[in-house]
Amino acid sequence: MKIVDLIGRDMIVPALAGTDKRSILEELAAHVARQHPRIDRATLTRVLVDREALASTAIGEGVAIPHGKLGAVTEIVACLGRARAGVDFDAMDKQATYLFFVLVAPESSTGAHLKALARISRVFKDGSFRKRLLEAPDADGMFAVIAEEDAKY
């Protein structure tokens, strides 16, 4: 599974304005809903917030993978956001989170959803990859970094 198969340039938000967990999730949900009219912004926000209430999706090293399932989608929808200043996202390593990779899967999804989570967490463990994403000037630059990384596999 390639990350570029999950995400397009239009699903990258290079400058999130949110300063806390809730505002980041609201901003990402709003972006996803604008790009996918079948997805209700408020419903997606609730799904992401409810998932965070179970346990933080911040995997450490500046990365979080907020995720959830919706009946409104028939395939995995993904969105990548970047908060240059970093946000307290209750990461296990107690460090700020800068990169947020949202995954929204169909309610009936299990295998594809888990494979996507595993792939993203594996790729985002690479420090040089994260650094290049953080340094990319815009969404096009961030997408190019992702495509370059995907080409290695």
- Residues labelled as active-site residues: 67
**What is the CB neighbour count within 10 angstroms for residue 88?**
14
Tokens of 20: 């806390």
Q: CA distances (Å), 28 to each of 34, 113, 148, in order?
A: 10, 19, 24
Integer Cα distance of 20 and 4 in angstroms = 28
Tokens of 55: 């346990």
Based on its alpha-carbon atoms, the radius of gyration of the chain, rounded to whole angstroms, reads 14
Integer Cα distance of 22 and 45 in angstroms = 9
